[in-house]
Amino acid sequence: MPLIKNKQIVADTWQYVGDEAAIPADGGVIVSLARWQAERSVLVGRNAPLGIRLKSDESAEAIADDLPRFDVVALEFPTFKDGRPYSTVRLLRERHHYTGELRAVGDILRDQLQFMRRCGFDAFEFADETAAEKAISAFDEIEAVYQTAADWRRSAAMIRTDTANAFLNGTCG
């Protein structure tokens, strides 16, 4: 599946391994929370990158103590209308200070990309190449934001206040 990182399509070096499939000896793998909980001691002993995939109803708290072990956390959108992964990604970035890759997977839409990035996602897995190619332009379509988020962009109100204060202080900005 195509993967978007840094506003471009890149090769995905990770392999999602289902709960019943054999774990390859090397290479980065992403496992489900259920598999992590069942095979934690074996997975910790692997000498290869490890990632985890959370369903939308699975909590960030379930992996909080183990976050340093994961190079990637993939958050699943079962449907584009399910917003729970937005909350999970913010918790991972802001409360748990996770700095690794946070990947949106599942039913994600082009129109959601900029908001997903603002919440803390930095990788986006699409179902097909064409959708991914068309989606890249979505990152630059909205310049002004109206609220703060995990990306720390200044809101339109903050920018207006700065401009107003500059003129009140007798400066030209």
Amino acid at 75: L
pLDDT tens digits, 30-72: 999 999 999 999 999 888 999 999 999 999 999 999 999 999 9
Could you tell me the pLDDT band of residue 150, with boundaries at 50, 70 and 90?
low
Higher-pLDDT residue of 154, 121: 121
CB–CB of 2/129 below 8 Å? yes
Domain with CATH 3.20.20.70 in the chain: 3-141
Domain 3-141 has CATH 3.20.20.70: yes
Question: Closest by alpha carbon to 26, among 11, 35, 15?
Answer: 15
Give dist(CA 106, CA 93) in Å, integer. Answer: 20
Give dist(CA 96, CA 88) in Å, integer. Answer: 10
In terms of DSSP bridges, do strands 72-77 and 3-5 run parallel, antiparallel, or are they unpaired? unpaired
